[in-house]
A and B are shown apart, each in its own frame.
Chain A
């Protein structure tokens, strides 16, 4: 879908009233719910308005997404691209201007869906006057967990995020890295099926970043679904199965990371211990096809290069969908 059609769909859905059936559906779990699809957005749009209701910023334009069970999904984009807006819409912190966001087949504003969700906000918005133990106990109680379960889970998570030594210190005494860790622990208190991480590595040192990424991969290994937003490309490249690249509210690219980074039309030959003399012969060998091939494959660009190409292209030619850009973003000689 290119951005022209997105705008069309957006304006259609704003102008067209919902049917009574849609209203009825909004009150109950979607009967067409596919358990393998954890998140589904349909024409999801968000326009911020001023006090008088006049449109101010179109933060998200007709986003269609599906996140499947067990995958690590990355939302990628520069600042102001709509990543956080998407996550907030999925959590019910914002209401869509038009379209729908379904989580576990339920409307995103439905409270009960939160029982299966863990959320780590961009900054760890936690109560700074609580200790680590009190923090996890408090969030455990919000999940209606019995005291015994809460206590066990609190101990496990504090150990897991490596804060045993600081468990009784108030969070106001914590460093940024420690706050992120306890933030992650609170997101996991209910052993959620879906974890939404907003800029999970923001503010972490390289070691902390590595640990966070390991934890995400660990969650994936446990069969959890992870949706993370980031503008740190290396993080996304390292852990995500699929990504969506957003730019100024438009979905520019969506697909598997390895597929998106694959550059077609070029061949890469990798050889082991190639002697200098052999280097000279490569061209002949290649010409005659007589050298033993160690590996021949398509080369890959970096995610950073792909991302910058999309942003550059979007600024030059606004409204074009990323597929065309991706095709053009292959390395040039």
Chain B
């Protein structure tokens, strides 16, 4: 999963050191700018109809009268209109229709989803999130686009605006009503979706064969260390078995024989121990493990340990996780010569991942973390370091062998004069496109370096939290250990994993983004409908949705240096069948074409910023890939949505205020 933003809410809002870089100041400046443009536009329209002097007074009057409207908005009236909007949606059976579509989709949706696929939870969660989002956004658009124009068309609005009701109350009431209705629906749908996904993926297996004991296991080839199907086995494996095929897949079971030598600590009692025997004076533990398949595993429990122990395979585990990643504050690359840069560019994925050259001691990626404390990891004895690495092979290497990489840990001193603790590199095989988990022991053996980099002590035991990260800061150094191969990494690709959070909470956090999108759509629909007819309002809201979901793509498309040029240049290239890279002959025609394209591209690009970027409000990927959605991200998204809603609301207010309802 690609994450490009690591925003801290307060820094984002305040701008950190520079107030003018903060979102709050930006919002104020944009608000003032929009107000000035709005007043000018209003004045121009009024001047066209009433003359310049009269227009000045009517514009000023409208502005001044807006203040009491905003200040004296009555909650009782707002709630009355909100309640009316909800009743309308219910009694016109709009809710019933949406519920029926949702129920049908869930009833038959399962037919088209494959539980045996790799990571089926991702498909399931993706589908239910997308379906719920689509259904509710459409419903929000229809409700909001129809409501006010229908009231105006039926003239029912006449009996409302002739009461002491202000335009702010009409707008807020409708927005609140539809939002409340859609929120209740969203929560209900989210609960049903969660149950649907959980029930669909919930399964268990039995050991294939007649018995559910170790008698069902078969010996492996002890020389090749391959099972009967020719698959590699673990170091301690002596026998393997298969589970039954359920939900389109099966798992392999391995019986491990682990010898505990005298003096070694005994393993803690585990529920998967089949038998414990003493052989040649050493304790031997026989235990059963189950291989992960399709992104999940199962709990294995043994009843009545002994030769005839019954092995029971429990429910699936690993589908529903909410990992809490602690990302690095900074990522820096060093090349072969030790110069700091952006990493090696191996293709068009430069922006996200940088690559580290293998076999060069100076080439590395350093991740600087802060806030690494024992409390954050539940004072655990081992710490999970997870990574998703990219691999670029400049030669094919050894077939079937993965590229070797290593990580090492370093302390980050607060000031000069402090020594640096450094661990030995911890080597591992990289896995592409999969999350690789390294369980790092808390106690490490370090060397001590002075500030000049000279080793002053060796083999010093150090605690990861109390010594290496005594100030909460820790550096992780990643290297590629194979010559002429490359390991690629982005800032979000390597993180420490704190204790997991409840999955259901993350599931609902994922829907928070959908809720924010709904609020924007409802606000846009209600506010557009103050001046537009229903079909035009729906068209405008659909445009908002389309631009909102494709804002990033559109902005990329509207870059002046994009291949093929702007609209005019592209059009000329299409009709003349000219290659995208072939340059035009210099001359006034080319200059004119480029000048017009620049204006068009800049204008269109600016317009995309008038619509919220819905991808920033979409957290479904976090839920799909099992990552906890942090509060900062939610707060930023909420503020973004709120700022757009405020802007739309003000536009809607002035539209309604200056509109002749009975005209």
Contacts and interface: CB of A to CB of B under 8 A. Distances in A.
A115 B163 CA distance: 7
Interface of B: 48-49, 51, 53-54, 57, 60-61, 64-65, 69, 74, 76-77, 79-81, 83-84, 87-88, 91-92, 154-166, 660-663
A174 interface: no
Contacts of B69: 111
B661 A53 contact: no
B65 A48 contact: no
A142 B73 CA distance: 11
A141 B80 contact: yes
B159 A129 contact: no
B87 A91 contact: no
B164 A127 contact: no
A111 B91 contact: no
B165 A125 contact: no
Interface string A136-150: 001101111000000
Closest 8 CB pairs of A and B: A141-B80, A17-B53, A93-B662, A129-B91, A142-B163, A125-B155, A23-B57, A119-B162
B75 to A, nearest CB: 9
Contacts of A15: 51
A12 to B, nearest CB: 13
Contacts of A186: 159
A112 interface: yes
A126 interface: yes
Contacts of A143: 163-164
Given A88-B662, A141-B80, A144-B76, A127 B156 contact: yes
Contacts of A115: 164
A48 B49 CA distance: 12
B88 A93 contact: no
A140 B60 CA distance: 33
A278 interface: no
A8 B21 CA distance: 59
Given A129-B87, A129-B92, A144-B77, 5 more contacts: A26-B57, A93-B660, A129-B91, A142-B160, A144-B164
B653 to A, nearest CB: 13
A130 B57 contact: no
Interface in A68-119: 88, 91-95, 111-112, 114-115, 117, 119
Given A17-B51, A53-B49, A142 B165 contact: yes
B80 A18 contact: no
A18 B46 CA distance: 14
A227 to B, nearest CB: 13
A143 B160 CA distance: 10
Nearest to A88: B662
A123 interface: yes
A27 interface: yes
A129 B662 contact: no
A121 interface: yes
A49 B51 CA distance: 15
Contact of B164 (A48, A112, A125): A112
Given A17-B54, A125-B158, A141 B663 contact: no
19 contacts: A18-B57, A20-B57, A22-B57, A53-B48, A53-B49, A93-B158, A93-B161, A93-B162, A93-B662, A94-B663, A114-B163, A119-B159, A123-B155, A125-B154, A125-B157, A126-B159, A130-B84, A142-B165, A144-B77
B92 A111 contact: no
Given A23-B57, A53-B48, A139 B163 contact: yes
Nearest to B166: A111
A130 B160 CA distance: 14
B661 A93 contact: yes
Given A18-B54, A125-B155, A95 B91 contact: no
A125 B162 CA distance: 12
A190 B165 CA distance: 13
A49 B660 CA distance: 12
Nearest to A124: B159
Contacts of A130: 84, 87
A93 to B, nearest CB: 4
A148 B65 CA distance: 32
B216 to A, nearest CB: 66
A143 B69 CA distance: 15
A86 B16 CA distance: 59
Contacts of B156: 125-127
B77 A27 contact: no
A170 B162 CA distance: 23
A75 B162 CA distance: 19
A48 B76 contact: no
Given A125-B155, A142-B80, A26 B164 contact: no
Interface in A8-28: 15, 17-18, 20, 22-23, 26-27
Contact of B61 (A26, A93, A94, A123): A26
A70 B92 CA distance: 42
B84 A127 contact: yes
A174 to B, nearest CB: 14
B164 A114 contact: yes
